[in-house]
Amino acid sequence: MRCALIYILVVVWSSAINAQDCSSPITLCSGVTEIIDSTGFSGEFNGPCFTVVQSIFYEFTTNNSADNPSGFLPYEIEADIFIDNCVDEGLNLTVNAGIFQPTGGADPCTGLTVISACASDSNSFIFNSGDLEPNTTYIFVLGIDPTSIGFGCNIELTLTGAPLEIDACCDDSISLGLSSELQVYGATAIFGAPNYVWSPESSLDNFQSQFPIATPSNTTAYEVVAQVGDCPVSDIITVTVGPAITVLNTFSPNGDSYNDFWKIRRIEGFESALISVYSRWGQLVYKSIGYSVPWDGTNDGKKLAAGTYYYVIELNSLEVTSEPIVGFVVILN
């Protein structure tokens, strides 16, 4: 089950980096929009797909999908490239885009492997990476023809996709006093251990665990933050907390073996609970510590008249903090 992932859109202006190449890429994180002036394309690139263009080099790191691969399918990113605001509206700036993987060695700019078919367009376009590898750093290159640097256009670049996210699971509904195990996958490792931080931490057994146990006293949205490469990412899970017990408000003790007893669901978990029932005049008609024997609608062995009665249930639990539960129950014929 995929949970809703919350993005905060961040816009960053890139400044020109003199003689930039793929050994000094700019880190690009999911949902962060880079706005580049075409005059900032300062790196020369003559590699696979491109032929002698002025470029800007970015890098992104994919998450660790290996422990939960189905949670990140399809495992690809999408680059949204928007070209706008040229000095002269009649100018057409062609932008090249490609994803590469360094093959290692002293010079990361040599031996680049093309990961997916490169693309170029003078209109805004979307570039899809195809399937990527987990825990891998890639180089993303934007390039333009050197003769068009003076066009003064803006290019907006935004990367999104499952390889750049973490996946928290799952929204849950529990009764007051019960617990829910939270899960999260996808962070890249720091010193060999996932770097997850959950909040609020007060109702968690371990707020830095990949699988914390949550025991909230009310409905709580838990946010988990982690690192994917050098990028902070987050996801949210909501645990909905219902009442500790559910009191049914009608029963018919007429001896037909159907609904003959007053049902209080999950009351068996509270052995010290005090259950008191009163008539409309305030007379105590039933009292029990614990509820091992359900009430059959009698008082001292005598059948009570049909009508409305009022209850007070005190859970008397060290684990569950609850105000007395009050309400009414109707005895039917």
Ranges of each domain in the chain: 10-164, 167-242, 246-331
**Would you call 310 exposed, middle or buried from its count of C-beta atoms within 10 A (0-12, 13-18, 19+)?**
middle
List 151's β-bridge partners, or say none. none
Structure confidence at residue 20 (pLDDT)? 62
> Quick one: which of 122, 144, 119 has its CA closest to 130?
119
Is-contact 95 176, C-beta < 8 A?
no
Per-residue pLDDT of the chain (333 residues; tens, 9 = 90+): 344 444 444 444 444 444 466 778 889 999 999 998 888 887 788 778 888 888 898 999 999 998 888 889 899 999 999 998 787 877 889 999 999 988 766 666 667 889 988 999 988 999 999 999 999 999 999 999 988 888 888 999 999 999 999 999 999 999 998 999 999 999 986 655 668 999 999 999 999 999 999 999 999 999 999 999 999 999 999 999 999 999 999 999 999 999 999 999 999 999 999 999 999 999 999 999 999 999 999 999 999 999 999 999 999 998 888 889 999 999 998
167-242 CATH pick, 1.10.3720.10, 2.60.40.10, 1.10.357.10, 3.30.450.40: 2.60.40.10
CATH T-level assignment (fold) for domain 246-331: Immunoglobulin-like (2.60.40)
The alpha carbon of residue 215 and the mean position of all alpha carbons in its chain are separated, in whole angstroms, by 19
Structure confidence at residue 190 (pLDDT)? 63
Whether 10-164 and 246-331 share one fold: the answer is: no
Q: Which residues contact 29 (CB under 8 A, 6 or more apart)?
A: 10, 60, 159, 164, 228, 229, 230, 231, 232, 233
Structure confidence at residue 5 (pLDDT)? 44
CATH T-level assignment (fold) for domain 10-164: Jelly Rolls (2.60.120)
Token reading at 144: 């333009």
Is-contact 30 159, C-beta < 8 A?
yes
> Which strands make up the sheet holding 250-251, listed edge to edge?
250-251, 325-331, 307-314, 274-278, 284-289
List 287's β-bridge partners, or say none. 276
Tell me: cis bond preceding 109? Omega within 30 of 0 counts: no
